Amino acid sequence: MTITRRHDPDRRGFASDNYAGIHPEILEAIAVANGGHQVSYGEDVYTEHLRQVFRGHFGDRAEAFPVFNGTGANVVALDAMSERWGSVIAAATAHINVDECGAPEKMGGLKLLTVETPDGKLTPDLIDTHAWGWGDQHRAQPLVVAITQATELGTCYTPEEIKAISGHCHDRGMKVFLDGSRLANAAATLNRPFREFTTDAGVDVLTFGGTKNGLLAGECIVVLNPDAAHGVMYLRKMSMQLASKMRFVSAQFEALLDGDLWLRNASHSNAMAQRLATAIRDLPGIQITQPVQANAVFAILPPEVTERLQKRFRFYTWNEHTGEVRWMCSFDTTEEDIDTFAAALREELGAGE
């Protein structure tokens, strides 16, 4: 059977790093893992090796649990860290609050206590707006604090900031969860090893993103502190996140993490975001709203310009009220893509003159 290509491979958008295809080295890893029989549901040689790969990055106590997608990873991890009466403190912009269709609350049974932040980052003082009421039977008990690295606004926590949050939370009996859908982008920006701003900074459990950094499909729950999460293997199955042919998920992560592919991909997408920000920063009518620290650019531009530009390139309006938009770069975004988009933006800004 011949498969017909039904899209233009040269057409690019800036809506999401999920729009990108699969990195060739990941496709090759899937092909290598194919053929013959391997035990299903994670008892294969690729998943066994992957445990050692993750321990090399996060420490000898790290336990890795591959899953299908980010929402499933977040819900399973938070469920394993909490109790039925527990609540999770998170930034109001957090993916678990804004973009998961209520899954943590509906499927995980968790109460989210959200905090407004200027840059997507929590601080000990902001956490304390909800970190109270322990022992009050009328209040969902604050048990977990969730942070995102890089944040949904494209900003990055420093290792020192995460360490301060972890110490503050642990002193109050709370656990720390890190949504790492773009953890590689943060590591590339910080120029620090993963362990320095996760395990060594006191994070208890994280999710590691693969899909946004070149994988076909796959995320991973990584338990850094085994005392902080219970029953992950059962919750993963119960939450429909256990892959039968897990070797193909694990082989992708091995290809990403066993060498430097994760860093090459993340560094490139970050660099493309910087190139975009530089190209449009001084254009009249443009206001970049957040520091460009990962692979995202947030900006405010006139609504009529947004409307015209979206007919040429896919991207999302982040805030309908302010006119803020989000532009995402990917591992396969090229300098030509950036220059073409910046030129189109200049044209549309001048179209109303």
User: To the nearest whole number, what is the mean pLDDT of the chain?
Assistant: 96
- What percent of the chain has pLDDT above 90? 96
* Cis preceding linkage at 150, omega within 30: yes
pLDDT at 30: 98
Give residues with Cβ within 8 angstroms of 39, minimum separation 6: none
pLDDT at 283: 94
- What is the tens place of the pLDDT at every residue in 194-234? 999 999 999 999 999 999 999 999 999 999 999 999 999 99
Q: What burial class does residue 176 get, using C-beta atoms within 10 Å of its C-beta: 0-12 exposed, 13-18 middle, 19+ buried?
A: buried
Bridge-based pairing state of the strands 141-148 and 86-91: parallel
DSSP string over 235-294: HHHHTT---TTTHHHHHHHHHHHSSSHHHHHHHHHHHHHHHHHHHHTTSTT-EE-S---S
User: How many whole angstroms separate alpha carbon 220 and alpha carbon 206?
Assistant: 8
Residue 351 has pLDDT above 70, yes or no: no
- Predicted TM-score (pTM) of this structure: 0.96
The CATH code that applies to domain 24-257 is: 3.40.640.10
- What is the tens place of the pLDDT at every residue in 116-145? 999 999 999 999 999 999 999 999 999 999
More confident of the two residues 79 and 351: 79
Give residues with Cβ within 8 angstroms of 222, minimum separation 6: 54, 58, 62, 63, 64, 65, 180, 205, 206, 207, 208
DSSP string over 144-178: EEEEESS-TTS----HHHHHHHHHHHHHTT-EEEE
- What is the tens place of the pLDDT at every residue in 16-54? 999 999 999 999 999 999 999 999 999 999 999 999 999
User: How many whole angstroms separate alpha carbon 93 and alpha carbon 119?
Assistant: 9
| Residues forming a β-bridge with 242 | none
Of 99, 96, 175, 187, nearest to 131 (Cα)? 175
User: How many whole angstroms separate alpha carbon 296 and alpha carbon 326?
Assistant: 7
User: How many whole angstroms separate alpha carbon 254 and alpha carbon 246?
Assistant: 12
User: How many whole angstroms separate alpha carbon 210 and alpha carbon 219?
Assistant: 5
Domains 24-257 and 261-351 share a fold: no
CB 50 within 8 A of CB 253: yes
pLDDT at 231: 97
Half-sphere exposure of 248 (CA within 13 A, CB side): 14
- What is the tens place of the pLDDT at every residue in 155-202? 999 999 999 999 999 999 999 999 999 999 999 999 999 999 999 999
pLDDT at 2: 86
Q: What burial class does residue 123 get, using C-beta atoms within 10 Å of its C-beta: 0-12 exposed, 13-18 middle, 19+ buried?
A: middle
Bridge-based pairing state of the strands 296-300 and 86-91: unpaired
- What is the tens place of the pLDDT at every residue in 243-281? 999 999 999 999 999 999 999 999 999 999 999 999 999
- Which CATH homologous superfamily contains domain 261-351? Aspartate Aminotransferase, domain 1 (3.90.1150.10)
Domain ranges within the chain, ordered by starting residue: 24-257, 261-351
User: How many whole angstroms separate alpha carbon 82 and alpha carbon 80?
Assistant: 6
pLDDT at 169: 98
Half-sphere exposure of 78 (CA within 13 A, CB side): 33
- What is the tens place of the pLDDT at every residue in 64-93? 999 999 999 999 999 999 999 999 999 999
Q: pLDDT grade, residue 153 (50/70/90)?
A: very high
